[in-house]
C-alpha cells in the first residue's frame, strides 16, 4: 500500500521525487529541475472567469486570496480558517514546496452552491493545501480548477474527510496548458455509507501528475473515479490512485487516456483489500487510445487482496483507432483528420459526460478537444 | 450525373495471394434511373459497392469508373461522397460512443463545405435533422441514438437511408438495404427512397428480393454472377429470377 494517509507536516523539505520512486516510475522528471518564470501579481479581474458564481477558495502561487464580498454564502464563510504556516510538505507525496497556504473548510450543512478551489500558478515554486471536512449527511460539489499563467512549479493537495452518509462530488480540471510542473495529492477518508466521486480531466504539460489516496474506512464507504487524460506534443500526464478497502465497500474506476504526437501518459492504480474487507467489490478499468507511433502509454493496475469474500476486477487496454470505424466515417464524407477527431471526442465523452458541474465540464471539453 | 463503370476488375488482398472478385463489370446509370443488381451469395455484389465507395481492402486491377465524367477511382473515399456518390452498406459499421445526430451534422457540413455551401451550426442542426428524419421515414429518436452501435440490424439499414438523405447524393448504391427488415420497414425504406428520387438522382439497388423492386420500380435489372454481369433486362427479369433462381448460370 506504500505511504498511506498521514496528513500534512510542517518542517523540513523532503527529497525530490525521481523515476526511481515506485510511484514515479513512468514520469520523466527532468522538468522538476527546469527554471521557472518569476511569480507576478495577478489582477482580480483576471481570476474572475475561473471561479464564476461558485463559492471559491483562490490560491495564487500558494497564497490564499482573501475572499471577496459574495464569494461565500453567509454561514459558510465562518467555516473557513486559514492555517497557513511556514514551509509545509506532504510526506505521503514525497513533495516539498516553498510557500504554502493551508485552508481548512468544514462544511456542516448543504452549501447550496458548488464549492470551488482555484489554484493559480504564475511562476516560481509554490504549493497550497486544503483540509476539507463534510459533516455527516452533508452533500456537496467541489470543483478544483488548475490555472497556469506561466512556467511555474505548483502543487496542490490536502485531506478530505467525509462523515457518515456524506456525499462529495469532485470535478478536477486543468483549465490551461501547464508549461511547468503541476502535481496534486489528495488523501481522502470516506466514512460509513459516505461516497466520494472524483472526475478528473487533464491535458498534461511539462510534468503533470495527480495522485489520489482513498481510505474506504467503513462499511458502505464508496469511491468512484472517472478520469480523462488527453495529451499531445511532448507533454506528459500521470495518474496514481491508491484505494484501500477496509470493510465491505465498493469502488469503481475508469481512466481513459488519449495520446497524440510524442505524448506520455500513465495510470498506476492499486486496489488494496485488507482482512475484514469481505463483501467489497472493486472494478478498475484503464483504456489508452494511442494515435501516434511516438506516443507512450503505460498502465499498472495492481490488486493486493487479503480478504476472502471479495470481488476485484481490473482491465487495461491499449489500442489505436479502429480502421473499420475510420473507413466507415471516410465513406460518409469525413476526411481522415475529421474522422480521428470525431472518434477521439466520442472516446473521451464517456468520461466528460459524467462531470456533474456543467461550467467545469465545458472548460474540460474545450481543453481536451481532440 | 452519370455513373459509368467500364470493364471493372478488382481483387481483395495482394497480387500474389489475393483473389479476383470483379471480373469485368460494365454498367451505365443515367440520371433519374433505377437499376437493380441481383445475384447469388458470393457473386461480388457487395464488393462492387465497396470498390465504388473506395474501400481500401480492394484493389482495382483493370477498368475504371467515372462519375459525371470525372475519374471516380482517383478520388479519396470522402471525396467520392463530396462528388455526389453514396453507398449504403450491407453491414454498416458500429461506431461506439459517436452520437448519430452529431455525426450526421459533421458529415453534412463536410459535404456542404466541399460544395461551397453554408455549414450548419450545432444549435441550428436539430430542426434540420428532424426534417431529414421525417423525409427518410426514420424513427424519430435516431438523432440521439448511437452511430449504429446499439441499433438492431434493421435499424442500421434505416440509418443508412437517413445518411443518404442527409448527404444528398446524386447517385446512391444501396447494398441489401432491405435484408433483415420486416415488411413494414421495407415499405418505409421504399417510401424514403421514392421520396428522395428526382430526375437528376439515380439509384442502384442491390437486392435478393422482389419485394423492394415492387415498391421501387427499376428501369433495368442486372444479374451478377462470378464477378460479372451475365444478363440484363427490364423489370420482368427480377420476377423471373425470383421464380427460377440463378441455377442456369451455374450458381
Ligand atoms: N475482404 C474480403 N476478404 C476475403 N474475401 C472476401 C472479402 N470480401 C469479399 N470476399 C469474398 O468475395 C466473394 C464475393 O463477396 P461479396 O462481394 O460480399 O458477395 P455478395 O455481396 O454478392 O454476396 C465472396 O466469396 C467473399 O467471401
Ligand atoms: Mg453482399
Per-residue model confidence as pLDDT tens digits over B147-198? 999 999 999 999 999 999 999 999 999 999 999 899 999 999 999 899 999 9
Residues of B in contact with A334 (CB under 8 A): 78, 106-107, 110
- What is the number of the ligand 1 atom nearest to the C-alpha of B224? 22
Share of chain A above pLDDT 90, in %: 70
Closest CA–CA distance from residue B227 to any residue of chain A (Å): 23
Q: Apex CA B145: angle with CA B143 and CA B149, to 5°?
A: 140
CATH number of the domain residue B128 falls in:
3.40.50.300
Q: How many residues does chain A have?
A: 370
- Which of A323, A333, A341 should be substituted to probe chain B, the one whose Cβ sees the most B Cβ atoms within 10 Å? A333
CB-based contact B55 A331, cutoff 8 Å: yes
Write out chain A residues lying below 8 Å of B89, CB-based. Answer: 328, 331
In the prediction, which pLDDT does A3 show?
A: 31
CA distances from A335 to A232, A287, A348, A360 (A): 21, 25, 20, 31
Atom of ligand 1 nearest to the CA of B57: 1
Distance CA A2, CA A274 (A): 14
DSSP readout, B149-163?
A: TT--HHHHHHHHHHH
**A21 in a domain, yes or no?**
yes
Let me know: does B72 contact B49? Beta carbons within 8 Å. no
The answer to whether residue A241 is domain-embedded is yes
**Residue A130 φ then ψ, to 5°:** -130, 135
Mean pLDDT of chain B: 95
Number of compact structural domains in chain A: 1
Q: Is A332 domain-assigned?
A: no
Strand B85-88 and strand B171-175: the pairing is: parallel
Helices A336-352, B100-114: axis angle to 10 degrees equals: 160
Q: Starting from the CA of residue B21, give the closest ligand.
A: 1
Is the CB of B42 within 6 Å of ligand 1? yes
At A114 the pLDDT is 86
In a domain, A139, yes or no: yes
Ligand 1 and B12: CB distance under 6 A: yes
Ligand 1 atom nearest B44 alpha carbon: 17
Answer yes or no: are the C-beta atoms of A138 and A110 closer than 8 Å.
yes
SS3 A94: coil
Q: Whose CA is nearest to atom 9 of ligand 1?
A: B47
- DSSP 3-state of A31: helix
Residue A295 cell numbers, joined: 506516443
**Pair A332, B92: CB distance under 8 Å:** no
Q: Which residues is A80 bridged to in the sheet?
A: A105
SS3 per residue for B4-56: EEEEEEEEECCCCCCEEEEEEEEEEECCCCEEEEECCCCCCHHHHHHHHHCCC
The answer to the question of residue A274 being in a domain is yes
pTM: 0.89
Find chain B residues with C-beta within 8 A of A289's C-beta: none
Residue A354 forms part of a structural domain? no
Ordered per-residue pLDDT tens for chain A, 370 residues? 333 323 333 333 457 889 999 999 999 999 999 999 999 988 877 887 887 777 778 888 888 876 666 666 666 666 677 665 544 444 333 344 445 678 888 888 888 788 889 999 999 888 888 899 999 999 999 999 999 999 999 999 999 999 999 999 999 999 999 999 999 999 999 999 999 999 999 999 999 999 999 999 999 999 999 999 999 999 999 999 999 999 999 999 999 999 999 999 999 999 999 999 999 999 999 999 999 999 999 999 999 999 999 999 999 999 999 999 999 999 999 999 999 999 999 999 999 999 999 999 999 999 999 8
Spatial CA neighbour of A210 closest among A179, A189, A185: A185
If one counts the domains in chain B, the total is 1
Cβ A259 vs Cβ A26: under 8 Å: no
Residues 6+ apart with CB under 8 A from B183: B211
Burial label for B116, CB within 10 Å (0-12, 13-18, 19+), is: exposed
* Contact by Cβ (8 Å): B167, B137: no
Domain that holds residue A53: 11-322
Residue B23 neighbours by CB distance under 10 Å: 17
> Domain for residue A331, yes or no?
no
Residue A49 contacts B, CB cutoff 8 Å = no
- Name the grid cell of B110: 463536410
Distance B13 CA to ligand 1 centre (A): 11
The CB density around residue B185, as the number of other CB atoms within 10 Å, is 16
Give residue A277's pLDDT: 97
Q: How many CA atoms lie within 13 A of A367 on its CB side?
A: 27
- Supply the angle between the helices B100-114 and B122-136 in degrees, to the nearest 10: 100
Residue numbers of the domain that contains B178:
3-249
A112 domain-assigned: yes
Pocket test of ligand 1: the residue of B18, B19, B226 to mutate, having most ligand atoms within 8 Å of its CB, is B19
Amino acid at each position: 500500500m506504500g505511504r498511506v494517509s498521514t496528513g500534512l507536516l510542517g518542517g523540513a523539505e523532503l527529497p525530490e521525487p525521481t523515476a526511481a520512486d515506485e510511484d514515479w516510475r513512468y514520469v520523466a522528471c527532468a522538468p522538476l529541475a527546469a527554471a521557472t518564470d518569476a511569480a507576478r501579481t495577478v489582477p482580480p479581474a483576471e481570476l474572475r472567469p475561473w471561479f464564476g458564481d461558485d463559492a471559491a477558495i483562490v490560491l495564487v502561487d500558494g497564497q490564499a486570496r482573501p475572499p471577496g464580498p459574495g464569494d461565500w454564502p453567509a454561514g459558510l464563510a465562518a467555516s473557513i480558517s486559514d492555517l497557513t504556516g511556514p514551509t509545509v510538505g506532504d510526506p505521503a507525496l514525497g513533495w516539498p514546496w516553498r510557500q504554502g497556504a493551508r485552508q481548512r473548510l468544514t462544511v456542516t450543512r448543504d452549501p447550496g452552491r458548488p464549492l470551488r478551489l482555484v489554484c493559480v500558478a504564475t511562476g516560481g515554486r509554490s504549493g497550497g493545501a486544503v483540509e476539507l471536512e463534510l459533516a455527516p449527511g452533508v452533500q456537496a460539489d467541489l470543483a478544483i480548477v488548475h490555472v497556469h499563467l506561466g512556467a511555474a512549479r505548483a502543487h496542490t493537495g490536502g485531506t478530505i474527510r467525509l462523515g457518515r452518509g456524506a456525499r462529495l462530488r469532485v470535478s478536477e480540471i486543468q483549465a490551461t496548458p501547464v508549461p511547468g510542473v503541476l502535481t496534486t495529492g489528495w488523501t481522502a477518508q470516506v466514512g460509513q455509507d459516505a461516497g466520494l466521486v472524483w472526475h478528473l480531466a487533464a491535458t498534461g504539460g511539462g510534468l503533470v501528475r495527480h495522485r489520489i489516496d482513498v481510505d474506504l474506512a467503513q462499511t458502505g464507504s464508496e469511491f468512484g473515479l472517472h478520469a480523462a487524460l488527453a495529451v499531445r506534443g511532448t507533454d506528459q500526464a500521470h495518474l496514481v490512485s491508491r484505494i484501500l478497502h477496509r470493510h465491505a465497500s465498493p469502488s469503481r474506476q475508469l481512466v481513459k487516456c488519449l495520446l497524440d504526437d510524442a505524448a506520455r501518459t500513465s495510470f498506476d492504480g492499486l486496489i488494496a483489500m485488507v482482512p475484514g474487507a469481505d463483501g467489497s467489490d472493486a472494478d478498475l478499468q484503464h483504456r489508452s487510445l494511442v494515435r501516434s507511433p511516438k506516443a507512450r502509454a503505460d498502465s499498472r493496475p495492481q490488486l493486493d487482496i487479503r480478504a476472502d469474500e471479495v470481488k476485484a476486477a481490473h482491465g487495461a487496454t491499449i489500442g489505436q483507432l479502429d480502421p473499420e470505424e475510420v473507413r466507415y466515417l471516410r465513406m460518409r464524407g469525413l476526411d481522415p483528420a475529421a474522422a480521428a477527431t470525431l472518434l477521439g471526442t466520442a472516446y473521451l465523452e464517456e468520461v466528460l459526460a459524467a462531470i456533474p458541474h456543467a461550467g467545469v465540464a465545458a472548460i474540460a471539453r474545450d481543453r481536451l478537444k481532440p | 450525373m452519370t455513373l459509368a463503370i467500364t470493364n471493372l476488375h478488382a481483387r481483395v488482398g495482394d497480387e500474389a495471394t489475393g483473389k479476383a472478385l470483379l471480373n469485368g463489370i460494365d454498367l451505365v446509370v443515367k440520371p433519374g434511373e433505377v437499376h437493380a443488381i441481383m445475384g447469388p451469395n458470393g457473386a461480388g455484389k457487395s464488393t462492387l459497392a465497396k470498390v465504388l465507395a473506395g474501400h481500401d481492402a480492394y484493389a482495382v486491377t483493370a477498368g475504371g469508373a467515372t462519375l459525371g465524367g470525372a475519374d471516380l477511382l482517383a478520388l479519396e473515399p470522402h471525396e467520392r461522397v463530396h462528388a455526389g456518390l453514396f453507398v449504403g452498406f450491407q453491414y454498416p459499421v458500429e461506431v461506439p460512443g459517436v452520437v448519430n445526430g452529431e455525426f450526421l451534422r459533421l458529415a453534412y457540413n463536410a459535404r456542404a463545405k466541399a460544395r461551397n455551401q453554408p455549414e450548419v451550426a450545432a444549435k441550428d442542426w436539430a430542426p434540420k435533422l428532424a426534417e431529414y428524419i421525417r423525409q427518410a421515414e426514420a424513427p424519430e429518436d435516431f438523432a440521439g441514438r448511437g452511430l449504429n452501435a446499439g441499433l438492431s440490424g434493421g435499424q442500421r439499414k434505416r440509418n443508412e437511408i437517413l445518411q443518404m438523405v442527409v448527404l444528398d447524393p446524386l447517385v446512391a448504391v444501396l447494398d441489401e438495404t432491405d435484408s433483415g427488415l420486416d415488411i413494414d420497414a421495407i415499405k418505409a425504406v421504399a417510401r424514403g427512397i421514392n421520396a428522395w428520387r428526382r430526375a437528376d438522382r439515380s439509384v442502384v439497388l442491390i437486392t435478393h428480393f422482389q419485394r423492394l423492386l415492387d415498391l421501387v420500380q427499376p428501369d433495368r435489372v442486372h444479374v451478377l454472377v462470378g464477378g460479372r454481369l451475365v444478363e440484363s433486362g427490364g423489370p420482368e427479369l427480377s420476377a423471373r429470377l425470383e421464380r427460377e433462381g440463378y441455377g442456369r448460370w451455374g450458381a
